[in-house]
Structure 1
Amino acid sequence: MLSYQHIYHAGNAADVHKHALLATALEYLTQKPKPLSYIETHAGRGLYDLQAPEAAKTKEATQGIERLQNRFPADHPYIRALKAQLHYPGSPAIATALLRPQDTLHLAELHPKEYAALRHTMRAPNVHTYQQDGLALAQSLCPPTPRRGLMLVDPSYEVKDEYTALPRWLTAVTRKWNVGVVMIWYPILTSQAHAPMLAALTAAHPDALVHEVRFPPARDGHRMIGSGLFVVNPPYGLKPDLAFLDTVFETRT
Structure 2
Amino acid sequence: MVHIVVDLEMNAIPARCQKERQYAKMEIIQIGAVALNDKYEEIDSYSTYVKPQYDDKVEEFYTHLTGITTKMISDAPDFKTAIDDFFLWIEHFEGEIEVVSWSMSDRQQIFQEARLKEYSFDTFESYVLDQWTDLQLEFDRLEFMDHRTSLADACSAAGLSMEGKLHNGLDDARNTAHLLHILRDDDLYEKTFGKVYSYQEKSRPTTIGDVIDFSQFHFDEDKKRGCNE
Between 1 and 2, higher relative CO (CA 8 Å, sep ≥ 6) is seen in 2
* TM-score, normalised relative to structure 2: 0.28
* Larger Rg computed on CA atoms: 2
* TM-score, normalised relative to structure 1: 0.26
